[in-house]
Amino acid sequence: MIVELQLNGRPVRDDVAPQTLLLDYLRDRHGLTGAKRSCDVQVCGTCTVLVDGLPVSSCCTLVADVDSRDVLTIEGFAELPEFERFERAFVDHAALQCGFCTGGMLLTTKFFLDAGLLGTNEEIRRGLSGNLCRCTGYHGIVEAVAELAGANE
């Protein structure tokens, strides 16, 4: 089947098997390997991409379901001017270690910040709880996101 979508701000048109998962499509067809595969059951968040601005688990989404929609991966996000602010906060707070979860973490953060839903530390913890990180213990990420959100302790 043919799908047409906006991928990182550029129109793409591809012939795909109907059962193709968005994660495999991004990684194998477009070489966008920033979205990672881990749990396969929508728990870990490391495959997160934004579809029309909303975070989805690309491991459990058919590419057919994003036909004619707008998909943003971490590679696309990194090209946007606002990314620099995110990068600085995550670097300053050492909010990453192995980096495997980091792309998904940043995209989920972007969604919640865009939606104005991360006012307090409690909201940050709740909002990001669909993204797992095994290295950092989360503390640095909370600090970085709080700084981005202008949230107070």
Partner 1 sequence: MTIIERQPLAHVGRSVPRRDAHEKLRGAAQFVGDFVVPRMVHGKVLRSPFAHARVVAVDASEAEALPGVVCVLTGDDLTDLDPYWGHAIKDRPIVALDHVRFAGEPVAAVAAEDEATAAAALNAIRVEYEELPVAGTIEQALADDAPILHEGPLRPGLFHGLGELPPREGNVCYRYRIDRGELESVFARADLIVEGEYSFPAVYQYAMETHTVVAQVEGEEITVWSTCQHPFLVRAELADLFAVPLASVRVVVPYLGGGFGSKSYTKMEPLTAALARKAGRPVRIQNRVDESMVTTRRHGMRCRMRTAMTNEGNLVARDVDCWFDTGAYADNGPRVTATGGDAAPGPYRWHAYRVDARCVYTNTGPAGSYRAFGAAHLQWIGESQIDELARRAGLDPLAVRRDNLCLPGEELRNGAKSLDADLIGDVEQAAAAVGWSEPKRANVGRGVSVGLLAAGAHPVSTAIVRLEADGQVVVLVGTTEVGQGPRTVFAQIAAEELGVDVEQVTVRGTDTRFTPYDRSTGASRSTTIAGLAVQRAARQVRDQLEEIAAGDPLEPTAYPELLRRHFGFTGGELIGSGEVAPTGTGSYAEGPVFWEVCVGAAEVEVDPETGVVRVRRTATVADVGRAINPQLVQRQDEGATLQGLGNALFEEMVFEDGQLLNDTLLDYRVPSFADLPNEMTCVIVENEDGPGPYGAKGCGEGALAAIPAAVVNALADVGVPMQELPLTPERVWRRIQTLKEEGKWPR
Q: Note whether 87 binds partner 1 by CB under 8 A.
A: yes
Among 1, 43, 80, 117, indicate the residue that binds partner 1 (CB under 8 A). Answer: 43
Q: Note whether 86 binds partner 1 by CB under 8 A.
A: yes
Nearer to partner 1, 55 or 140 (CB): 140
Q: What are phi and psi of 105, to 5 degrees?
A: -60, -45
Q: Note whether 73 binds partner 1 by CB under 8 A.
A: yes
Which residues of this protein are in contact with partner 1, per CB under 8 A? 27, 32-41, 43-44, 46, 73-75, 78, 83, 86-87, 90-92, 94, 96-103, 106, 124-126, 128-129, 131-142
